[in-house]
Structure formats: structure tokens, C-alpha cells
Chains A and B, each alone.
Chain A
Amino acid sequence: MSNKNIMIVGVGGQGTLLTSRILGGRAINGGYDVKLSEVHGMAQRGGSVVTFVRYGDKVQEPIVEEGCADVLIAFERLEALRYAHFLKKDGVLIANDQRIDPMPVVIGAASYPEHILEDLSKTYKTYVVDAMGEAKKLGNPRVFNLIVLGLASQHMDFSKEDWYRVIESTVPPKTIDINKQAFEAGCRVR
């Protein structure tokens, strides 16, 4: 198969790394060649972060180029806008409907754009979830990233059992159940 290019973007500390590792683990179990590229270090301190996951028969570079992403998973609205141009014309945007003000906005040096997801949905196939709200309903706001992943999984060719297997082997043992519940909740979002 041709390579599948997935990007996960968000704010440092939101858990993009864990999500990309689950996604990468899933691709490996599927027998694909896979490469992931992550961000460590300073950017993880509340900066804009992006991780790439590529899988297929043979993957060369570990990054996704502009205009080449099949799926863009955005954990925050402004970050969805920042990286939207990485999507292919028929690419899918999965967005968590959350706003985190960057420091230039907090101190009044810039303003936070309005109607981001409405505008992006005119150009890209866009699916939105209030994952933080859904996660609070499950009693643990920290698992919101698995809800977003659950929604994204609807646009990937893996079975739910496959996902569960990799979630079990990736997240901390005590949190397996709540993470699976969160993923399941994401799968139900339409």
C-alpha cells in the first residue's frame, strides 16, 4: 500500500507523544514498516508540538511534508490552523475543540483567531469533538487524548481489538481501563 501520513499536533504537555506511540504501535502490529518522529526538550514546555507517524510497505523519511498528510489530529484549535496546510486536499482533520491561549495572546500582543474550525471545515473534511468535556464525564480529564484518537481511528483501517491490544501495552497498567473507555467514547463520536 502507499504510505499513510499522520500528524499529531498540540501544545507541549498535552500528551501528543503517548498518542503517537499508540498509533505507531498499532501500525507495527499491522505488519507495516513504520517511522515516528517526536519532539523532546524545550518545546515540550507548553510550546507548539508536532509528531509524525508514517506507515506503509517502505517508509524513508520520518517526517510528513507540507501538503502530504492524510490525517491531521489536532489537540487544540490554534494548532489545527497552524498545521492545516500539511493536509492533502482530500485529507481529514480531527480536531479537539479546545482553546489554550499562547503567551502572545495572554499578554495581549496577539489575538486568538475566531471560527477556526468552522473555517477549516470549508476546506477539509473535519471532525470535531469536545474531548475535554467528554473526558470529564468519564471522571478523568487526562484521558482526553484517547477520545481524540478514538475519533481518528474511524478514519483508519484497523479493528477495535487491534487498538485495544496496543493501548494495553502502551499506557500505564493502572490506567488501561479508563484509557480504553475513553477510546471507546471517541469511537462513538460522529
Chain B
Amino acid sequence: MSLTWGQLLQFLLSGLMYGSLYAVIALGFNLIHNATRVVNFAQGEFVTLGALCSLSLVMIGLPLPVALVGAVAIVTVTGWATERMAIRPVRGASVITLIIITIGASVFLRGMVTWIWGSDERPPLRPFWPGPSLALGPAMVQRQYIWILGIVLATMFLLWLLGEKTLLGKAMRACAFNQRAAQIVGIDVGRMVLLSWALSAGLGALAGVIIAPVVTPKWDMGVMLGLKGFAAAILGGMGIPAGAVLGGITLGLAESLGVGLLPDWGSGYKDAIAFSIMLAVLFVKPTGLLGARSEAR
């Protein structure tokens, strides 16, 4: 199997784009995990909700930027409500109970989505920057890819600022380190948990709205994306922001290059390739790529 440089570049680009998307979803997993030790299996539904809300808001005639911000806001409120209604009432329950509750929440949200939007796939959202693909040397870049990468990078930067430079971010990180100690120094842990849910839902929604122009949004689009995001979070080491980014990009590149390097019959197994690589890494290093730091935390 020989690859030309143009093809290789193309695989890298599409891997990078999807990888950055997985990274954003993985960051959402991390936020909630850090605040509560819970893996939120409803994360994928936030992606679906984001994409479908943005479609509907555009359909009722809102300008594109307003619709995008509006969709993220709606889903952020949904995340807030999910914490209020599903997680807070059983505060103090074991982590495994909470995880099962998030599975329930995901089924509930999917039900609501099919109820509101039906089960058909929709035509893609209007592109943010319409026009033909741009040439990057021998490869072609869809204009939406540039937006996706840009928004993802900006989001990561803002998250980093929030975590490192603000008091709020420091309080959230304190909760992640040690909830009881955080409480003792006067941090409202409940509020931090609520915040992490809202923020995490917002991140999921963001992934949904930026990908809406390149996919056919439908009720279960978030299931696979959520799973990939989860795999990325695990791959990088659950709870480590840099790990989520590394894991996401690795996963994206792996599935794209996997199709490229395997013979043609392998192209139908794109998802299997990604998950096999994740499993292989975990066999060698069960804590994930950056997992050693996790133990030192």
C-alpha cells in the first residue's frame, strides 16, 4: 500500500479535525469526572442536542451566530437541569449509582430528542463560511474544518484560562483534588458540581453545533461521538485536560490513518480500528497516555 504525500496530508487533516472534536467531548467528560468522580454517559446526548437545537434555531429565522450561541446556551441549561433533577437529589450515593443515573439520563434525553425532532436524519446546517474547499498543497480542506479547529483551539484556551487564572477555576480544581478539603476552606462544592455539569453540557453542545454543517444531524448522532470522546478521555488518562486533548487527537488520527494504511477491505472497520488502538494502549498503560501524572495528583 503506497500513499502519496497528498493523501497522507489529507488523512492527517481529517484525523486532526475529528480528533479535535473528540478532544472537546473528552474535556466535557473530564470536567464532570473531576468534580464528582462520575463518568457522564449522557455526554453524547448533549452533542446531539446542540446540533439539533442549532438547526431549529436557524430554521425559525435566527441569524447563524445567534442560533449557535443560543443552542449552546439551551444545552448548558439542560446540563444544569440534569444535575439539579438527576444528580443532586441522590447526593452522597456511590459513584456507580451516579453513573447508572447518567445512563438513565441519556436514555431520557434521547427519548425527548426523538419526541421533539423525530428519528429522521436532517439535512446539514448551513456552513459557517460557505464556498468550495480550500487547497492546502496537494490536499483539500473543507472550510468548516477551519472553523472547527479554530473554535476548538479557542475553547481550549478559554478553559485553560478559566482553570489556571480565575478564582472560580481554582475553586473547581480544588474540588477535583479533594472535595472535603475544598469544603473546609469555604468552597461551595455543590455549586462547583452544578457548574461542571453546565459547562460540560455546553462543551458537548459546542461540539454538536460546529459539526452540524458536515454531518446529517439526527437523534442518535451523539452516541458514537460520545463513545469516541469517552475513549479519548480514557486514552489520555481520565481527568487530565492535556490527556483529553492528546487522546482525542490520537484517536482521530488513528482512525483516519487506519483507513489509509490498511488495504481497501479495511475501510469498513474505521470505528473498530479506533477502539482497537485504544484497547492496545490501555493494555500497555492502563492509566492512559498521561496517566502517571494522574496518580501523582
User: Do A and B make up one complex?
Assistant: no
